[in-house]
Structure 1
Amino acid sequence: MQAHRELSDARIVGAAQDQGRTLIFHIGDHKTGTTTIQHAFTTRLVRIGGVQPLYTASLSHNHLPQLFRAVLRDRNSPTAEKGRQVIAGLAAKIAASDAPICVISAESFEGFDPAGLRRILDEHFAGLFDRIRIIAYVRPHLQRFVSGYAERTKIGILSGDMESFFQTCLAHDVFRFAPRFRKWRKVFGADFVLRPFVRTALIDGSLMTDFIRSAVGDVPFTVDPTDNQNESLSLEDLLRVKYLHAQIKGRSEKFHHNYGWALTRMLGDMPRPETATRIRLHRSLAERAAEHFRPDARRLDEAFFPADRFLEQALSDDVAAACELPQLATAEAMFSPSEMRSLDLTGRLIAEMLDNGKTPWAEHFHRRRLEHLHGAES
């Protein structure tokens, strides 16, 4: 007798919708409200059928993709051994819980091989569930381009402007969605659900309602209110963060990631200024980007949204909403000499404090983010 059932035997998508145990595996994409979903579950704001789902992460499960890859590719490495331990621990927590729904959420699965995830689920988790649902959201191309530019700038990966970022997208074929999502559907079939991250397309105009309904159907649920956990930075604040990243060059990507999140959290705690500029594409770039992304938008609509054509329509709408001229791309161009002096002083002070070297600052910034989310006592 097998120790677990294969996923093909565990599927109960078409029948017994309200019976059995369900794993909701949320794989992103980036910049589609993943932080909102993760914060709602990790802070225990959600009840489905009157019961809190099992959510085992203090923030997200973004540590899993790297460990899963190691388990799949190099079974003898230390990372693979750690991965097996993490998988065993996660499976034990799930087995020990009587929650009928478990949620795993990691937008870092965006670039993961779906066949690899299927193998992991078959070998380690299928026997724990009667139904497994893989859920992803896709953001229209130009909106994803802008949000991706802002996010990469926020965490210190990008130092250029939107034009240079677009050239990078062209060179590396970034934000091509249709082939990737077709692979997910080929591997998981009806268990894979792709939803458009378009407000008018979300059920009741709510991301959380859309997420839960798409995963488990028409089951009663509640979500307690919460603040927006990942509000977009204004252009002014993004340029401040960008400048402060530039003052501490030479540190690791992990450091800049957590440093950027720390700065963003602090800005979010401050009163929002009366005037703030929304980050926008300018028309020339929007038109060129729309032309580049249109074939992919058309293919994705044909495969997943044939009746509504969400992605292709969004390209036209977003070009029409573009501003005429490129926005400023540096703090020096945006701010007065007096404010630049204050920014420079702040940057120099931070750099000197970090050079002390006695505190693991990346871990400190991440810990403060978790304390801000869960409370310092936790």
Structure 2
Amino acid sequence: MARRLILHVGDCKTGSTILQTMLARGDCKPAGLRLFSPGTANHGALARSLGERKALYPARWNAIARRLDGAEWDVAVLSTELFEFIPPARVAEAVNTHLAPLADQITVIAYVRPHVGRVLSQCAENLKLGHDTGTQADFLKSFLKRGRLDFAGRLAGWRAAFGDSFQMRPFIRSRLKQGDIRHDFLDLVLQGTPYTLSDSGQDSNAALPVPDLALMRMLQQRFADLPLDNRVTFGKQFGRLLRDRPPTTAAEPLRLPRALYDLLYPAARADAERLDAEWIGAPCFLPDLEAARDATIPTPQSLEAEDHHSPETLRLMAVWADLIARQMGDEPKDFGARLRDGA
């Protein structure tokens, strides 16, 4: 059986975490086929080595090449949503240089979340991880300015770099196989091979409600001068704990105010039309963009912690945050080990 290498390149906020968890735990058991993902199944260092951490290149790519060469497999998956931020031509160059024997057996897969959903989910994620702790309006204006909603232009770069080996799928539940990103991904990767899948759920990185986001924002603001890697680790771990203990009273998710929708719409409409024409061949992204108007709210939700939590709660959280901050100057490897499960 000819080997096939799958390069899963994101996007962010399209279920990458649950796919990587599935692969790392070996939840999928294909019939008569060996599915392999080296390491932890999140290969962010490959992308970082081509971006902001060039000191990791070429060692990380050489290490992955050795792992692939030394293992027995039929289908191997390399996955990180961080490839979204790397020029596709640079990724193709690294593949051709370090994975040359597999370069003609590669399939590159990206999922794309519709425009409004991407803005809301990314805003919530950035608040949680401390990347952006301003207002929702601040985030959207920055997101638009950086061209992050130019999905079609970025996809064209992947197609130019990898040709017909590149595939895009819309991250819309009604369009996913069985409404589940795991089954949709495995259908592409395994090409119809039967498999069993442990039912471990698909929402391990679900967005937090507004009161939790406001609290996370306050904490991340207090940590603003501390190492980014540690702030990200804290956000991931504390966010997971908050998610696992649902609010005792109903709380709304982050929603888009109508004024911000009106700012986003003209910037996203042409891109949605292009996605539908060039990638879907049917109405998909534009109807989603239009329908999102009905889910907007008249006024912005407050992200100020004092609007959601009592003064006493905020006092206790501030004291606790100051205690945690004393540890956040440690090396990221040490700090992360203490916060993660099993540390």
TM-score interval (norm. to shorter): over 0.9
1:170 corresponds in structure 2 to 144
Quote the Cα distance in structure 2 between the aligned partners of 1:292 and 1:159: 23
1:22 corresponds in structure 2 to 4
Q: Which runs of 5+ in 1 are unaligned?
A: 1-18, 72-76
1:290 corresponds in structure 2 to 265
- How far is the alpha carbon of 1:29 from its aligned partner? 0.4
Aligned match of 1:255 in 227, 230, 233?
Answer: 230
**Could you list the per-position Cα deviations for residues 303-329 of structure 1 after superposition, in whole angstroms to 9, with x for gaps in the alignment?**
10122x211111111111112221112
Quote the Cα distance in structure 1 between the aligned partners of 2:118 and 2:180: 19
Does the CA-based 8 Å contact 1:301-1:311 persist in structure 2?
Answer: yes
- Which secondary structure does the structure 2 equivalent of 1:257 belong to? helix
Give the paired residue count. Answer: 342
1:58 corresponds in structure 2 to 40
1:6 corresponds in structure 2 to none
Does the CA-based 8 Å contact 1:42-1:59 persist in structure 2?
Answer: yes
**Could you list the per-position Cα deviations for residues 49-80 of structure 1 after superposition, in whole angstroms to 9, with x for gaps in the alignment?**
34452111325101111324599xxxxx8x2x
Quote the Cα distance in structure 2 between the aligned partners of 1:40 and 1:258: 21
- Distance verdict in 2 for CA 1:305–1:220, change over 3 Å: same
- Which secondary structure does the structure 2 equivalent of 1:348 belong to? helix
Quote the Cα distance in structure 2 between the aligned partners of 1:269 and 1:170: 32
Matching of residues 216-295 of structure 1 within 5 Å: 216-227=190-201, 228-295=203-270
Quote the Cα distance in structure 2 between the aligned partners of 1:293 and 1:129: 34
- Which secondary structure does the structure 2 equivalent of 1:63 belong to? helix
Quote the Cα distance in structure 1 between the aligned partners of 2:62 and 2:321: 44
Does the CA-based 8 Å contact 2:42-2:80 persist in structure 1?
Answer: yes
Aligned match of 2:327 in 354, 358, 372?
Answer: 354
Does the CA-based 8 Å contact 1:23-1:102 persist in structure 2?
Answer: yes
Aligned match of 2:30 in 36, 48, 61?
Answer: 48
Quote the Cα distance in structure 2 between the aligned partners of 1:303 and 1:94: 34
- How far is the alpha carbon of 1:193 from its aligned partner? 0.6
Does the CA-based 8 Å contact 2:211-2:303 persist in structure 1?
Answer: no
- The answer to whether the aligner puts 1:363 opposite 2:319 as a matched pair is no
Does the CA-based 8 Å contact 1:44-1:52 persist in structure 2?
Answer: no
Aligned match of 1:315 in 276, 285, 289?
Answer: 289
1:12 corresponds in structure 2 to none
- Which secondary structure does the structure 1 equivalent of 2:36 belong to? coil
Quote the Cα distance in structure 2 between the aligned partners of 1:206 and 1:271: 22
- How far is the alpha carbon of 1:231 from its aligned partner? 1.9
Letter in 2 for 1:301: D
**Could you list the per-position Cα deviations for residues 6-25 of structure 1 after superposition, in whole angstroms to 9, with x for gaps in the alignment?**
xxxxxxxxxxxxx4111110
Does the CA-based 8 Å contact 2:217-2:303 persist in structure 1?
Answer: no
Aligned alpha-carbon RMSD (Å)? 2.2
Quote the Cα distance in structure 2 between the aligned partners of 1:185 and 1:145: 24
2:159 corresponds in structure 1 to 185
Q: Which runs of 5+ in 2 are unaligned?
A: none
Letter in 2 for 1:203: K
1:212 corresponds in structure 2 to 186
1:145 corresponds in structure 2 to 119
Quote the Cα distance in structure 2 between the aligned partners of 1:58 and 1:206: 22
1:340 corresponds in structure 2 to 314
Quote the Cα distance in structure 1 between the aligned partners of 2:130 and 2:140: 17
- Which secondary structure does the structure 1 equivalent of 2:116 belong to? helix
Does the CA-based 8 Å contact 2:96-2:103 persist in structure 1?
Answer: no
- How far is the alpha carbon of 1:272 from its aligned partner? 4.2
2:169 corresponds in structure 1 to 195
State the percentage of identical aligned residues.
Answer: 29
Quote the Cα distance in structure 2 between the aligned partners of 1:225 and 1:198: 20
Quote the Cα distance in structure 2 between the aligned partners of 1:265 and 1:50: 36
Greater radius of gyration (CA): 1
Does the CA-based 8 Å contact 1:28-1:107 persist in structure 2?
Answer: yes
1:5 corresponds in structure 2 to none
Quote the Cα distance in structure 1 between the aligned partners of 2:47 and 2:246: 37
- How far is the alpha carbon of 1:46 from its aligned partner? 1.5
- The answer to whether the aligner puts 1:123 opposite 2:97 as a matched pair is yes
- How far is the alpha carbon of 1:195 from its aligned partner? 0.1
Letter in 2 for 1:113: P
Aligned match of 1:304 in 279, 290, 300?
Answer: 279
Does the CA-based 8 Å contact 2:45-2:60 persist in structure 1?
Answer: no
- Which secondary structure does the structure 2 equivalent of 1:175 belong to? coil
- Distance verdict in 2 for CA 1:345–1:123, change over 3 Å: closer
**Could you list the per-position Cα deviations for residues 113-166 of structure 1 after superposition, in whole angstroms to 9, with x for gaps in the alignment?**
222222222222231476211000000001101111111111111121111112
Of 269-278 and 216-225, deviating more is 269-278
Does the CA-based 8 Å contact 1:24-1:215 persist in structure 2?
Answer: yes
| TM-score, with structure 1 as normaliser | 0.84
Quote the Cα distance in structure 2 between the aligned partners of 1:115 and 1:273: 49
1:114 corresponds in structure 2 to 88
